[in-house]
Every structure is written in structure tokens, then in C-alpha cells.
Amino acid sequence: MIRLTWLQFRAQAVTAAAALAAFAVLLAATGPHLASMYTADGLSSCHGGSCQNLAQNFIVQITSTGPYPTLYLISAGVILLAPAVIGLFWGAPLIARELETGTCDLAWNQSVTRTRWLAVKLTVGGLAAMAVTEGLCLMQAWWAAPIGRAAGDGAPQGPLTQGRFTQLIFASHGITPLGYAAFAFTLGVTAGALIRRTLPAMAVTLAIFVALQVAMPLWIRPHFAPPHHTALSLNSIAAAGYIAGEPGPGGSTFTFAATGLPGQPGAWILSSAPVNAAGQPVSTTPAACVAASIQPGDFAGCLASHGIREAVTYQPASRYWPFQWAETALYLALALALSGYCFRRLNRRLS
């Protein structure tokens, strides 16, 4: 049965191998030069605060002199799309195609039971899906390692130096792609078993997978652990360059948003808003800070002198790997649940 499954799976296997090879060639052709630029800029031997300026120069250099920003975004996008493609073209046709073509009568009435047939199909397809997706992830991680180290050395946040909790980075690095691939594959199989038509099953698979990928960072991932709360001086946040939205003097209202926390690089900011000394939200500019004599750079200091601070809700950077494990476990649990339902569904009379 395993040999037969591999023979039936050879077209998908060849396609996946070709995609991995093309991805590897593309990254291998540009990765060494990217690493040499990192070394040539002195980042491999710098220490302490001197690394920040070097890291910023390195990011500016690769942004303006080569294809690296485009390759970075393309490679991350490929990893994000791979589970969806696997769910569409590997998972959805697995059962639906047998039902559409009528081959289920032959496949499920031989010496191989339906349970064994599905177990082998799910095992081979699921492991292959996870291997392909994680292979892409590991290759991209090797290629982008200099960019990641530059971000850790203090390069300002930008398209190439996003925080590890941003959706692009979190979903395309670490171990979460394993969970995405397993879930997308079993989701496609389940949709095919329910709908019994390949194209509608593919559409449903894509819709559900995309919906969950959107919902996860917005409403589920932030609650894997209770967030931390703090209220910081506007001066300290502004001095560190972690504040946005300063309207300048002369306005009757203002708004601030913290983009980071001093002393806690990589923290995931869930929400931030100005509060007064009593901890209540505030957006009305004190009369003394509306005066024309207040310079734009002094506006935050004027607000701070009136007891206005920035209330921030965040997840510490140290929770990155616990969140990776939690999200991967959640997707794998969903994949197992869908697999169990497929076994139950298949053992009914579907023909």
C-alpha cells in the first residue's frame, strides 16, 4: 500500500522536489554575497552600541544596491503560500477525486480496508507536506540570517527588519509552518470527503485556511498568555524612537502610539494609548501645550509634565518560542481532529 501510494503521489513529489530545488538555487546564488556584505560592514566583529550604526548602514546598503528586499519578500511569501497550495492540490483531491471518478468502488473494496487506505494516504501526504514546507523555511532562514542578526544589532524596523511577532515573520519562521502544512492538508482532505467534488472542495479549503490565518494573529495568538501592562513616560519612549503620531503643538487633540518599548527590543505591542495621571484615556491637549511657543520636539515633554503617559499592553519578546510551540500544537491538534473525522466519514457508505 505504501509503494502504491508513492507511485500515485509521484507527480506531486516531482513538482515539490523541483520547487525546492529552484528555491535552493535562487537562495544559494545570492546568499553568500549577502553574508559577505554583512562581514565586510564589520557587523561580525562589532560589540555593544557600535553595532547599531553598522546594522543601519548594512540594511540601507542591501536595500539600495541589490535584489535582496525583493528576494526576502518573495521567499517569505512562498513559505506563507506553500501550505495553502498543498491543501488545494494535495489534500482536496485525495478523496474527492476517488468519489468523482468512481474509482472508490475499486480502491475501497479490495484487500486493503478503507481505514488502512486513508491512514497510509494521510501519513505519506501529511509528512511530505510538512517536510516540503519546513524545508522552504529552513532554507530561507539560512539565507536571511545576516538580515536577522542586523535587526538584532539594532537596525531600525522596516520591511526587512520587522519584529519576530509580525505576521510575515512569525508565520514564515520557526516551526509554525509545520502546523500550517499539516492543517491545510487535512483540511483539504476533509473538504473533499464532505463535498465530494474537487473544485468546490478546493475553494472551501482556501477560504477556511485564509480565514484562520487572518484570525490567528488578530484574535487568538495574543491570548496564548496573559499580556503585560505598563505605563511609560512619553519622554523615554520618544527618546528611544519608539513613538509615532505626534501632532505637534497648536492642535486641540493628540494621539500617540508606541512602536516599541525601551529596554525590551522585540516586544509585541498589542495596544497603546495616552492616559492621564489617574490612568484614564486622554486625547485633549492641555492648554499649556497648545501655545505657539512649544516646539514640535518639546510637545511630548510638555504632555509628560502634565502627568500624561503612554499605557502599553504587550507580549514580551521572550514568549516568541512558547507562542511558536503553542500555535503549532493548536494547528496539529486541528489536523488530528480533522483526520479523525475523515476516518469516521470514510467508514460510512459514501458511494
Report if residue 107 sits inside a domain. yes
- Residues 294 and 189 occupy one common structural domain: no
The pair phi, psi for residue 311, each rounded to 5°, is -85, 125
Report if residue 36 sits inside a domain. yes
Note the pLDDT of residue 351.
46
| 186-206 confidence digits (pLDDT tens) | 999 999 999 999 999 999 999
Note the pLDDT of residue 213.
97
Report if residue 43 sits inside a domain. yes
Of 94 and 298, the one with more pLDDT: 94
Report if residue 351 sits inside a domain. no
Q: Has residue 163 got a pLDDT over 60? A: yes
Note the pLDDT of residue 296.
64
What is the arithmetic mean of pLDDT over 85-92? Answer: 96
- Residues 17 and 66 occupy one common structural domain: yes
Q: Confidence class of residue 344 from pLDDT cuts 50, 70 and 90?
A: very high
Q: Confidence class of residue 273 from pLDDT cuts 50, 70 and 90?
A: very high
- Residues 42 and 168 occupy one common structural domain: yes
Residue 335, Cβ neighbours under 10 Å: how many? Answer: 25
- Residues 112 and 183 occupy one common structural domain: yes
For residues 154 and 135, give the distance between their C-alpha atoms in angstroms, rounded to a whole number. 29
Of 333 and 40, the one with more pLDDT: 333
Q: Has residue 105 got a pLDDT over 70? A: no
Q: Has residue 292 got a pLDDT over 90? A: no
Across the chain, mean pLDDT equals 89
Report if residue 172 sits inside a domain. yes
Determine whether 190 is exposed, middle or buried from the number of CB atoms within 10 Å of its CB (0-12, 13-18, 19+): buried
Report if residue 279 sits inside a domain. yes
- Residues 100 and 207 occupy one common structural domain: yes
Report if residue 63 sits inside a domain. yes
What is the arithmetic mean of pLDDT over 272-290? Answer: 89
- Residues 155 and 265 occupy one common structural domain: no
- Residues 187 and 85 occupy one common structural domain: yes
231 forms beta bridges with 311
Residue 279 region, left (φ>0) first, then alpha (ψ -120 to 50), else beta? left
Report if residue 68 sits inside a domain. yes
Which 3-state string (H, E, C) describes 241-252?
A: CCEECCCCCCCC
Domain count, the chain: 2
Of 64 and 29, the one with more pLDDT: 29
- Residues 103 and 144 occupy one common structural domain: yes
- Alpha helices of the chain — where are they, by DSSP H? 2-8, 10-40, 50-65, 68-86, 92-101, 104-107, 114-143, 145-152, 167-172, 176-195, 198-215, 234-239, 299-305, 320-346
Of 89 and 293, the one with more pLDDT: 89
- Residues 283 and 234 occupy one common structural domain: yes
Minimum mean pLDDT range among 253-262, 309-318, 336-345? 253-262
Q: Has residue 306 got a pLDDT over 60? A: yes
- State the Cα torsion 320-322-327-333 to the nearest 10°: 170
Of 140 and 117, the one with more pLDDT: 140
- Residues 329 and 306 occupy one common structural domain: no
Domain that holds residue 153: 2-223+320-346
- Residues 215 and 267 occupy one common structural domain: no
Minimum mean pLDDT range among 62-71, 222-231, 321-330? 62-71
Note the pLDDT of residue 36.
92
**Sequence-ordered list of residues with C-beta below 8 angstroms from that of 172, at least 6 positions apart, any chain:** 76, 79, 80, 137, 140
For residues 10 and 3, give the distance between their C-alpha atoms in angstroms, rounded to a whole number. 11
- Residues 233 and 218 occupy one common structural domain: no
